[in-house]
Amino acid sequence: MAPTQQKVAARASRLRGTARVCTASLLAVILAGAGSVMAADSPLRPPDGIPTHADGRMPIQRLYAAYLPLIDKGWQVDVVAESQPPGTTAALPIVALRSPKPGPAVWILTGIHGEEPAGPNALAAAVDELAALGQKVPVVLVPLCNPQGYARNWRYLDLPTFSDTEDGQSVGDSSHLLPDPGQPGRARAAAASSPEADALTRYVLRMSASYRPRVSIDLHEDDLVTAGYVYSQGELGVNDPLAREAVAVLREHGIAIQLGGQTRFGELIEGGIIGPVTDSSIDELFSARELIVDGRVQPGPAARTVLVFETPAKDLPLDRRVAAHLALVRRLAALIAAQPEL
């Protein structure tokens, strides 16, 4: 799992009642698809003058503009939250986009960790494939879960990097909704760890009524590993066919995958895949059969397939990482569109 997920899991075990780029060619593809100029009041237009970390990643304004063609196709854009953690100068919107057709849905998230730009850049380059997928099955996109982290290359809302001694606030923290294994009927934490985590998880719960999660995909990177792996949190675990296909796609595109042994967190890897884990992440929320909401037990999303992709970032240039994530999104979108029952 991502280091943030491991830290959240460690913190959750202690908490009992209190919680606290892409290449020039990809850039051209994205901008060509962006179409008309954004209206001034569009939630897909972040404030002007917000700089984006200069490592080749798409500037945040252009990243959001990539999704304008979906609006033209009838997709709805929602503002999940206005994120302005301490130390930032202006609020940036966390947005979600929904295909016109509701029903059992594919949810795709990227950018939970701000220093992992490959996923957000790849998803922006896959707008045509996502539009085609949305014509076949309902889709919900949360293309940049942590815009402030992305803009300034900060992993968390409040910390720039992973720490062994301090818990960073992750926008994907779901410990306030997930049951405490040691105390039935209670959540692992009394409250969300940040306004952003509260808003994102409540958005998932609210939209699940009309866009019930069937498949969830979450794109990550890890600069502390040289070989990646796939978490399969859904009911099929290591036997999920989409997880197996993902391993194959990543290997085809030059991404080293750890096929066996254990992760640095002691999790068993089988064929590049790790079965369900308890990590208090939003991915565990998507797979959960029960949640604790406002002190009451209620059914969880219980998505059949919940995949988290951890690809190595160490010593790999950003363009190669973006290309691999893009190939992954395209392959999975094509498979799901062809076989909606997956």
Three-state DSSP state, 222: strand
CA distance 265 to 242: 24
CA distance 213 to 61: 29
CB 183 within 8 A of CB 16: yes
Structural tokens at position 132: 């085609």
Q: Which residues of the chain have pLDDT under 50?
A: 1-40
DSSP state of 38: P
DSSP state of 245: H
The per-residue pLDDT for 285 is: 98
Scan for tokens 């795709």, then name that residue: 108
pLDDT digits (tens, 9 = 90+) for 63-112: 999 999 999 999 999 999 999 999 999 999 999 999 999 999 999 999 99
What sign does the dihedral 225-229-234-238 (CA atoms) show? negative
Residues 273-283 as b or e (16 or more Cβ within 10 Å = b):
bbbbbebbbbb
197-202 own/partner pairs: CB under 8 Å, 24+ apart: 197/169, 197/170, 197/171, 197/172, 197/173, 199/80, 199/81, 199/94, 200/80, 200/81, 200/94, 200/142, 200/145, 200/171, 200/172, 200/282, 201/174, 201/176, 201/177, 201/282, 201/285
The per-residue pLDDT for 229 is: 98
pTM: 0.89
CA torsion, points 63, 220, 3, 265, in degrees to nearest 10?
Answer: 180
Structural tokens at position 55: 């490592």
Beta-bridged to residue 140, according to DSSP, are 98, 107
Chain mean position to CA 309? 9
Pairing assessment for the beta strands 139-142 and 105-110 based on DSSP bridges:
parallel
CA distance 5 to 309: 13
The per-residue pLDDT for 342 is: 65
The per-residue pLDDT for 3 is: 46
The per-residue pLDDT for 300 is: 98
Run of H or E including 299: strand 296-299
CB 60 within 8 A of CB 151: yes
258-263 own/partner pairs: CB under 8 Å, 24+ apart: 258/225, 258/227, 258/228, 258/229, 263/1, 263/229
Run of H or E including 214: strand 213-222
The per-residue pLDDT for 47 is: 80
